[in-house]
Chains A and B, each alone.
Chain A
Amino acid sequence: MNNTWKVINEAGLQFFGKMNASISHEIKNVLAIVNESAGLLEDLTGMAEQGMPVDSAKLRSIAGKIQKQVRRADLIVKNMNTLAHSIDEQEKKIDTGELLAFMAALSKRLASMQGITFEPVMSENPPEIITNPFLLETMLWRCMDFFMCTAGAEKTIEVSVAANDQGIDIHFTGLQEPGVKQDPSFPGEMEHALASALCGKIELNEGAKKITLSLPLTIHEAEQVR
């Protein structure tokens, strides 16, 4: 394995580990709420057994809380499953609109911890590309992580995709001022290695306010040209 692929594998593992840790924390929160709701039902049952009246509307409300958390956990697990299966294929047709929405959902909790919101800007017909799904997700995560580390609190970063002559451009925009903490090392070795493996390129411009990731429509055709 050459050094570039070692760097790419390291980036992929970091991304996978970070997402798994975040997902497990979120599931823990769901379990904590379900646990307290079940405990509350137990408390109320104990009171009822001692002859105290229990309001049926209260019981219905607790059941509703539990159902809400089940729906939340279902979404979390669906995203986890999508992420896990993104390593199944080296090349796959990807709807870029769906991908941006998925990445925003996947990173929502971690972004929220930093006071950042990623807002996918959806076009009516988002372009489709054929690429390596996991490498692209890892690349997008590196860009998102950059903004989380540098943007400062209460910022909304728009993520949009547009077709160009040879493929697509994914833009991260929204900072009015350069990040509060500059990171001169971005894009670094990992980002350039990932962009190269995707037959694309990454640029940080406008004074660290915008990232553009350019990708070909079809990765294997771009590889043949290269």
Chain B
Amino acid sequence: MRVLLIDDEKELVSTLAERLSFRGIEADWVCSGKEALNKIEEQVYDVAVVDIKMPQIGGIQLKRMIADKYPDMKFIFMTGHGSEEDFLAGSEEAGEEFYLVKPVAIEELVKKMKQALDE
């Protein structure tokens, strides 16, 4: 499994990538939607784990921009809302996606990645 982590919190994604590597998951990371657009031109990813709220290009907007071109790439969104229910209740943009509320439990993240790929 090859994963791209996208969040404007550099220390979050870099640490998460290191921890995923200990679990046999190859993870690259970038800190903006713009960098993500460049990265996926260079490398094929199975899963993108992306923060919903980022400067300029947020996670849901990023998915809209690339989903047609990369239909096999799965998305898992991270949110800083109080709970997934809070986010879903307050968001008109939320669809049938995978969501995780920060702070993320890594085993839960790995489980969601596998679920996303099995879909």
Contact = CB atoms under 8 A, between A and B. Distances in A.
A106 interface: no
B9 interface: yes
A24 B12 contact: no
Contact of A39 (B53, B80, B82, B106): B106
Interface residues of B, number: 20
Contacts of B16: 36
Query: What's the dominant secondary structure at chain B's contact region?
Result: loop
Interface string A31-74: 11111110110010001000000000000000001001100000
Contacts of B53: 25, 113
A99 interface: no
A24 B80 contact: yes
A63 B10 CA distance: 16
Given A25-B80, A43-B22, A33 B15 contact: yes
A65 to B, nearest CB: 6
Interface in B51-65: 53-56
B27 to A, nearest CB: 12
Nearest to B23: A43
Interface in B19-69: 19, 22, 53-56
Contacts, number: 60
B18 interface: yes
A35 B102 CA distance: 9
Q: Is the interface of A mostly helix, strand, loop or mixed?
A: helix
B80 A28 contact: yes
Given A24-B80, A25-B53, A29-B80, A40 B19 contact: yes
A166 interface: no
Contacts of B78: 32
Interface in A64-109: 65, 68-69
A14 interface: no
A31 B12 CA distance: 10
Contacts of A26: 80
Interface of A: 24-26, 28-29, 31-37, 39-40, 43, 47, 65, 68-69, 112-115, 153
5 contacts: A29-B9, A33-B11, A33-B15, A36-B11, A40-B18
Given A25-B80, A36-B15, 9 more contacts: A24-B82, A28-B102, A29-B80, A32-B80, A36-B12, A39-B106, A40-B18, A113-B54, A153-B56
